[in-house]
Chains A and B, each alone.
Chain A
């Protein structure tokens, strides 16, 4: 290995050639402040425009200060990260950014989580010595994301996520100089663009320029309306991250406290989206087996590979970018929507409540779920199956508002019948989880044999594109997995070119899957957090008595009492959907 020797703040250090000054310093515990720079280790995500100049350091023998994020180490370099000159420059840069930034921190949605705010604190800025023009961009509201561009600091992290990682291309830097900002083409609103609402722009925005649409007020109103029965479902990835909002270490599972908190908030029934995830496996798994059987029987028209359809951002992505492939994904609705549909039919009948007096709230790690539940096909006579989708962050806000001391809550269980779930439902929250859950069920149904092992480690991991072959009693089933829409695009191009060898493909829009969703507690560029959340879900799966969706007794009961069998006419009506060509608008 080619090593480079240098000195940082009087300390000698030897690092690999090609290392940045920022990373080299971090290796010996020197944390140079940065703002636009962001790196998610092992996920191949890096934003390094070198634009903000907050990380400037003094390099002996150089006339100008050097940005540590994009300056490579060189032999014999002598670096000072906290010389008078470096500190002064850093503060000047931040003051200049602040001079064109709204000073409404007290009521900003990002307060407490804002990188700019933390940086100003870190540098001890008490006065802004510059006064100049203020940006006056218009605000843009969509079904899921709000853009408040006066708060944009042009770090271009959102643009990087939208283009390099997601390959969506909704956002680009536009204009020049003072008018420069990140925007969709022709400054159109986000909801007219190809945006998928994956929310990865929100997940990485250092300030309050990009935030989710806030539905907490609507939920509070519903909860205090005596004429309404308000029920809640909570997605798998939420339990692995919510604790972070209350000071728990990343990866802490708070399933029991989550149920307790929701009950204290006043929800009449506290249910689990994992139940609907099990239901999804029955429907989607059956669909896969039907397609496979037809294919093996020589049917030339059958569409393979089958793609998962749980992720609303992914659905919107292929509707815009690959409309010619819209028959390939499973027609199964997402767990959120399956839950809503069953809640407002089966469950509403069971408790004798009219669907318009039943409010379904979902807690999601996702901002695209807000958009999904507003899609017209998921409503009956204008009444949506899911009324409001809150992010994990919004739930934390509600818990605080209700004066609940989260960490001291007891562990409680979800209610029945829509709260019982298996380990298979739990792992829906991570990349690889949906397909693993599907394999557990599809294998047993297809072969009629019991699985000897349930942990399909070959399907797990954090690599953006993965594949594995599972032996279905002599029949090799080829499985592909992609997380991040840019990775998904590669698999779709192969399908388009007739090169895909897969039978089934799982796609999740967000890096890491739902654990890294746009509605989760902010990771501030720390990929370790995502990995710990992933481990937490596998832990919960392992601890479950039942780990296969088709063995969920309440799912069996639901089919017996109501749906008949998977892919029945009733299932089609309530649990399946169709996709639209959005390439023209």
Chain B
């Protein structure tokens, strides 16, 4: 893993997030959630800082980050795409959607396109099983997606019709 040096601003951001949860060890998941929302991903250095602020072993923080597929340790594309592979989405064809996304973006799951625009991941259930199969781009949820729609979704982002959220890092 490449070592990075956190900027003073990032350090402050993480410290403030921890403080907003009273530096409670039990709030770890909320802290990580917020940190990823603000920073885009959770590099080792951020996890170390969180561990220090919450006064807990960094191994435990890493344990939680690696347990939940929601958390990322690598920078995501400008538009992170997640395909739900939960039971409902799976039986309604999520695998074909994923296959189509891989083909169109020419990347594998866990990778980012060379231009840094898109990254591709799988997740388990976003709680929208009625809309299965579900694809998320950033925080936007697309329901009842068909393989044919994939090209259109990608194009909307590629052509700048939808703007990315700005991260601090």
A residues at B contact (CB < 8 Å)? 163, 168-176, 183-186, 193-194
Contact of B63 with A172 in the complex, beta carbons under 8 Å: yes
Contact of A186 with B57 in the complex, beta carbons under 8 Å: no
Does B66 touch A at the CB level, under 8 Å? yes
Contact of A174 with B62 in the complex, beta carbons under 8 Å: yes
26 contacts between A and B (CB under 8 A): A163-B57, A163-B60, A168-B57, A169-B59, A169-B60, A171-B59, A172-B59, A172-B62, A172-B63, A173-B63, A173-B67, A174-B63, A174-B66, A174-B67, A175-B66, A176-B67, A176-B69, A183-B59, A184-B59, A185-B47, A185-B57, A185-B58, A185-B59, A185-B62, A186-B47, A193-B59
Give bound CA distance, A193 to B69, whole Å. Answer: 25
- Chain A residues near B132: list those with CB within 8 A: none
Give bound CA distance, A173 to B62, whole Å. Answer: 9
**Which secondary structure dominates chain B's binding surface?**
helix
Give bound CA distance, A164 to B60, whole Å. Answer: 12
- 14 more A-B residue pairs beyond the given contacts A174-B63, A194-B57, with a C-beta to C-beta distance below 8 A: A163-B57, A168-B57, A169-B56, A169-B57, A170-B57, A170-B59, A171-B59, A172-B60, A174-B62, A176-B67, A185-B44, A185-B57, A185-B58, A193-B59
- Chain A residues near B69: list those with CB within 8 A: 176
- Chain B residues near A186: list those with CB within 8 A: 1, 44, 47, 62
Does B97 touch A at the CB level, under 8 Å? no
- Chain A residues near B47: list those with CB within 8 A: 185-186
Does B83 touch A at the CB level, under 8 Å? no
Give bound CA distance, A183 to B56, whole Å. Answer: 16
Does B120 touch A at the CB level, under 8 Å? no
Residue-by-residue, is B50-89 near A (CB-CB < 8 Å gives 1, otherwise 0)? 0000001111111100110100000000000000000000
Give the size range of B's interface with the partner.
10 to 19
- Chain A residues near B67: list those with CB within 8 A: 173-176
6 closest A-B pairs (Cβ-Cβ)? A169-B57, A172-B59, A172-B63, A185-B62, A185-B59, A185-B58
- Chain A residues near B56: list those with CB within 8 A: 169
B residues at A contact (CB < 8 Å)? 1, 44, 47-48, 56-63, 66-67, 69
Give bound CA distance, A172 to B47, whole Å. Answer: 14
- Chain B residues near A176: list those with CB within 8 A: 66-67, 69
Give bound CA distance, A173 to B1, whole Å. Answer: 20
Give bound CA distance, A186 to B1, whole Å. Answer: 9
Among residues of A, the one whose C-beta sits closest to the C-beta of B59 is A172
- Chain B residues near A173: list those with CB within 8 A: 63, 67
- Chain B residues near A175: list those with CB within 8 A: 66-67
Among residues of A, the one whose C-beta sits closest to the C-beta of B61 is A185
Among residues of B, the one whose C-beta sits closest to the C-beta of A179 is B66
- Chain A residues near B44: list those with CB within 8 A: 185-186
Tell me the minimal C-beta distance from A497 to chain B in angstroms: 14
Give bound CA distance, A558 to B69, whole Å. Answer: 64
Give bound CA distance, A551 to B60, whole Å. Answer: 50
Give bound CA distance, A529 to B63, whole Å. Answer: 34
- Chain B residues near A183: list those with CB within 8 A: 59
Tell me the minimal C-beta distance from A194 to chain B in angstroms: 7
Give bound CA distance, A458 to B1, whole Å. Answer: 52
Give bound CA distance, A173 to B48, whole Å. Answer: 17
Give bound CA distance, A172 to B63, whole Å. Answer: 6
- Chain A residues near B57: list those with CB within 8 A: 163, 168-170, 172, 185, 194
Give bound CA distance, A122 to B155, whole Å. Answer: 62
Give bound CA distance, A184 to B66, whole Å. Answer: 12
- Chain A residues near B58: list those with CB within 8 A: 169, 185
- Chain B residues near A168: list those with CB within 8 A: 57
- Chain B residues near A174: list those with CB within 8 A: 59, 62-63, 66-67
Give bound CA distance, A163 to B56, whole Å. Answer: 10
- Chain A residues near B60: list those with CB within 8 A: 163, 169, 172
Give bound CA distance, A186 to B56, whole Å. Answer: 15
- Chain A residues near B59: list those with CB within 8 A: 169-172, 174, 183-185, 193
Give bound CA distance, A176 to B59, whole Å. Answer: 15
- Chain A residues near B62: list those with CB within 8 A: 172, 174, 185-186
